[in-house]
Amino acid sequence: MGITTAGLSVVAANMTGSSLATHIAIGFSGIAFVSGNVALGSESDRNAINTFDLGTSEKLIVMADWSPLEISGAILREYGIMTAGSAMINREVLTGSLVFDGEQELQIQQTYQIKI
């Protein structure tokens, strides 16, 4: 996983409550991560984060779900955590790809651990 330059700004902004992660985007590009990424290589869908858990000390967990109908025919090679203003906090590029045939669901969970 790589944290983008914009992602570092979001983390700093969240310390004052002015910006929040709101969506997880998925895409089909296998282009390598660089810290200056501002978008996925090829975004195909975006869903709202339905779990935002700060319950564990020093950890933040975000999660989003896709139904079989939403991702039928999709090829997943990348995903990213996005803010309401579409700043990308992080981008993950998979080593392979997942192909969805309409029978599978997708759940993406990202855990951030903050050490001070």
Q: Work out the pLDDT band at 83, boundaries 50, 70, 90.
A: confident
Query: How do strand 43-48 and strand 51-53 relate by DSSP bridges?
Result: unpaired
Q: What is the pLDDT of residues 20-40, one digit of tens each?
A: 788 999 999 989 999 888 899
Average pLDDT of the segment spanning 77-96: 90
Q: What is the pTM of this model?
A: 0.81
By the 10 Å C-beta count (0-12 exposed, 13-18 middle, 19+ buried), 28 is classed as middle
Give the residue extent of every domain in the chain: 2-113
Buried-exposed string 85-95: b where 16+ CB fall within 10 A, e elsewhere: eebbbbbebee
